[in-house]
Structures are given as C-alpha cells and as structure tokens.
Amino acid sequence: MRGATATQAQATMPAYGRTESGTRAGHFPHMYMSHRSKNESQHDNACDRHESGIDLRESGHCMHMSQATYNKRIERYFPNQGRAPLNNRRHESTIRNIIQPRFTRDDPLKSGNHTSNVAVIVSSSRYWFNYRHVTNALSIYQLLKRGGISDDNIILMLADDIPCNMRNPFRGKIFSRGANGGMGDDLMEGVEIDYSGTDVTVDAFLRVLLGRNLPGEGETNGLHRRSLPKMDENTNVMVLMTGHGGDNFFKFQDGEELMSNDIASVFSQMYAMKRYKEILFISDTCQAFTMADEITVPNVYSVGSSLKDQNSYASHSDPQVGQSVIDRYSKVIKDFMDDAVTMTSTSKTDTMSSSLDSATVAVMERFNLHDALVRIPMTHGELGANSKVGHTDSLCSRKMNQVPLSDFFAAPLEERERQMKQRQHAASASLWMNESNFTSSEQEFVVEQECVLPEATMNDSPVKEEIRDGMSVFDLKFIAAAIGLVLFMNTVSRKW
C-alpha cells in the first residue's frame, strides 16, 4: 500500500468495533486477535506516554481510542481535570502546553491599569434562520458574566427574539451545542437584554458608545428604563458585532448598514471624549476585518473572523432545532475556554454558570488576546477554506500577546473581590435561615424561561404562555382552528 493515500488505506482496512465488554467484534476477529498483542498494544503504550509532551493523537497514533477511553486517560494524568469530557479532544495538548505552565508563575501576564470594564454586544440579524448569530452573542455574554462583569456594564442588543420564535421547539431556550431534547446547555439562563427587535439600530448602537441617552432613558419613571454604563479614560471597552456583512459594511436587520467609517468616527469621538482606555473590537461576519480599515485612534485592538473577500462560516446544525446553532469562530472560542477551565480547575466547575467563576478568571488571566482570539481559532477552529482571522495592534501601546484576556472579559480585581465578599456574606446569612424556608424561597426564583406576548389582551397586560414540552397553548389553539377550517371548507365544497 506504499502508493495509497491515507483515505484509501483506511478504506481497505477491516472494520472493527469494540463491544461494551472491551472485546473486539468485526469481520475477521481471528485475524485481529493474532496481531493485537504486538500492534495495538504498542499503540496503547504510545498513548500511555501521552504525558511526555508529544500529541500522539493528533498525529494519528491514538485516534483508535474511544471518547470514554480518552477521558479515562486524561483523568489519570490530570486527576482534578478529568471531571467532564472536553468539547474538542485536540484542545488538550494545546492547553497543557500553553495554559497549564502559566499556572506555575505568580504573574504570567501583566494587567493594564484600567478601573472598569464595559461590553457592547450586538447581534443584528433577524429571522429564524439566523439562530446562530444570537448564540454567537450569548456565548460571549456568558463568558463575560463568568468573568464577573455585571449586567450594569454589559449592553446586549439582540435584533430578533429567537428563543421565543414560534418555530423554536424549545420555547424560551437557545443552545449552542445541541438541544439534547431541551436538556442542553441553555444560553438564555440569567440573560438581561437591553435592546431588542426594532430598537436594535445603527443609531442606538452609536448612542450607547457615546453615552447619549434618549429622553427618559436611565430614569426610574422614564419611558425607557435602560441605563447606559459609565465610561471614562480608565474604562476598557469590548465591542462585539455578529451578523451579516461585507466589504466595509455591517448589516442591521436588512434595513440599514453600519459602515467602517462610522466605526472609525465613533471611536474617534470616544477618544476625544475620554470614554475609553483601551478598546477590543471584534467582528464576526463575512469580510469582518474590513470594518477596522479606517480606525486611526490609539489603543484599539481589532479582530475579524475573516479577511476581505472571505466568508465566515456556520459550524454545525442541530436536527432538533433545525438550524445551524453557532458560527465556527465563536464556537472555538467558547469551546476552548470551557475546556481550559475543565483542565485547570482544582474543583468541579460549572462552565454554564452565569455569575463570577474564579476558575474561568484564572484562565483568562493566563490567556493573552492573540492566543485566544487569533491563534486558537486559526489552529482549532476549522474556519473554512481560505478563511483567516484578521487582527491588528499597530495603534496600541501593548501588543496583543502581552494583554491578558481578563483585561476585557473579566471585571477588575477590586470588583471581583467585592462580589466574592457578597457571596461569603450571603452564605453566612443562609446558615441562620430555616432550611425548609430557604429551599422554598430559592425555588421561587428557579423558573423556566417564559415567553411573553405583549399587547395580547385588551387591557395591554402581558400574557405568559404555558410551556409544555416545547409547545404552547396558543400553538394547540391554532392547530385546532386550522383543522376546523379545513373540515368546514370540505363540507361546503360537498354541498356545492
């Protein structure tokens, strides 16, 4: 088989399968047993030398391992890290070689001297088939929450209410890795949306960055109660845009466009108004990096999921949802961060937590911007043919490989310490409460995400749908009405 390709060689090999008892079953079991002791045992021994620092699985020597066998081996070498399977087994060697060694140093990356963090996240696409753009935005949103950034400092703009879309079989929920019958990781947990529907416009986006409220915004009794975060010369700002775009433009709901010169202009105004210390600008769309073409002000890190004349591709679809559930660029950032936390945490960590998580912050402090947003997606992202991540730090006083991810994805140290003290006080107070009363009061807040239909009654009071196995009572009424209409028309046609 000297002249055969790898694919042809695999096609000519016998198809073996491993049973649950650990024995092999295949077309030629006697042939398999005759050479197992020499060949496969050598493969297994090679895999056992995994801790030597050589990634044998990626080179093809250990690809015969099942996911269960792989997880057992990871648990053997990293006893505290094998508590959950990795989202991508290829991440393990990269995490071990890049992230874990940095835990042996006291100050692996020096943080900037900022005093606050603000994030503006925009998903500008409407309609059900753009499901993935909402999960892109919510994936980054959840990382920010785990980094300790509060909702007061996050502006979340979602153009379409995908979780409550009538086509969503799991009403009020949205998943990036698969619905799993509604039991998957729900990204809507703990989410606070600031702008939705027709409120998501270019004008609203620019006003948020410039701190210009509409009349009544931010006031307790005003028409619009959303308040804009405070920003000054010591604020690090992260701006994420995900949706559809092209060469030097980004679409808002198919009705208007944000141009690259608009981005350059608003950043210039923010610089003149002293509304930032550093900006991280991320665009996840087709020809994304062209949105940074005209930026000229200092200390703006720009990253785009694709270059000019390149596309940004969807990752995978879920058969239960019926749509692509996330884009490739956002997926690899989320998956790699979750896997890094799984491997480096000394205790069991909930990677879907919507509040401050110390293990996540520890990884962010040891993970620089270039590795997290450029190098890892290019290495593990499978972004698509000829798609590359664009980035620049030419206008910045620090290079991207010197900036910890925590400078933009986590709250400052003082804020995190304040949140930890609040947790400790809450835990101490709970010890004095009656256990049964505490449990019952806690259950009152654990409510399944419900979809609200505004203006559903004459008195303008919102009506909450009753959700049963992904179908609301309104769906049932519509089906019954449709059946009745068909029967009526059939009866009328017979008479005539």
Provide the residue type at 155 as one letter.
Answer: I
**416 alpha carbon, distance to own chain's centre:** 22
The C-alpha atoms of residue 402 and residue 368 are separated, in whole angstroms, by: 6
**241 alpha carbon, distance to own chain's centre:** 13
27 is a catalytic site residue: no
- For residues 395 and 264, the answer to whether their CB atoms sit within 8 Å is no
The C-alpha atoms of residue 195 and residue 211 are separated, in whole angstroms, by: 15
Model pLDDT, residue 119: 96
430: Cβ contacts below 8 Å, ≥ 6 apart: 438
Low-confidence residues of the chain, pLDDT below 70? 1-83, 105-108, 216, 218-225, 346-354, 427-475, 496
Give the DSSP H/E element, type plus range, for residue 396. Answer: none
Model pLDDT, residue 66: 58
The C-alpha atoms of residue 461 and residue 119 are separated, in whole angstroms, by: 33
- Please, what is the angle between helix 358-365 and helix 131-146, to 10°? 90
Pairing of strands 314-318, 323-327: antiparallel
283: Cβ contacts below 8 Å, ≥ 6 apart: 240, 241, 242, 245, 250, 289, 291, 292, 302, 303, 304, 305
- Side-chain-facing half-sphere of 378: CA atoms under 13 Å: 15
Tokens read off for 483: 């059946």
- Biggest distance spanned by C-alpha atoms of the chain: 87
The C-alpha atoms of residue 377 and residue 363 are separated, in whole angstroms, by: 17
Terminal CA-CA length for the chain = 76
Coil/strand/helix, residue 46? helix
DSSP 166: T
Provide the residue type at 86 as one letter.
Answer: L
Model pLDDT, residue 83: 57
Coil/strand/helix, residue 462? coil
What are the φ/ψ torsions at residue 29 (nearest 5 degrees)? -65, -35
What are the φ/ψ torsions at residue 288 (nearest 5 degrees)? -60, -40
Tokens read off for 486: 């068909």
- For residues 172 and 163, the answer to whether their CB atoms sit within 8 Å is yes
Catalytic residue among 114, 244, 380, 391: 244
Residue 169 CB: number of other CB atoms within 10 A? 14
The C-alpha atoms of residue 240 and residue 250 are separated, in whole angstroms, by: 12
- Side-chain-facing half-sphere of 160: CA atoms under 13 Å: 23
Q: Measured between alpha carbons, how far is residue 491 from residues 479, 481, 484, 488 in Å?
A: 19, 15, 11, 5
b (16+ CB within 10 A) / e for 404-426 = bbbbbbbbbeebbeeeeeeeeee
The C-alpha atoms of residue 127 and residue 125 are separated, in whole angstroms, by: 7
Model pLDDT, residue 67: 53
pTM score of the predicted model:
0.72
Token pair 């493969």: residue: 43
Tokens read off for 388: 């590359």
Please name the residue ranges forming H helices in 213-327: 260-272
DSSP 229: P
- For residues 232 and 225, the answer to whether their CB atoms sit within 8 Å is no
Tokens read off for 367: 């993970």
The C-alpha atoms of residue 29 and residue 175 are separated, in whole angstroms, by: 42
286 is a catalytic site residue: yes
Catalytic residue among 164, 286, 396, 451: 286
Residue 191 CB: number of other CB atoms within 10 A? 20
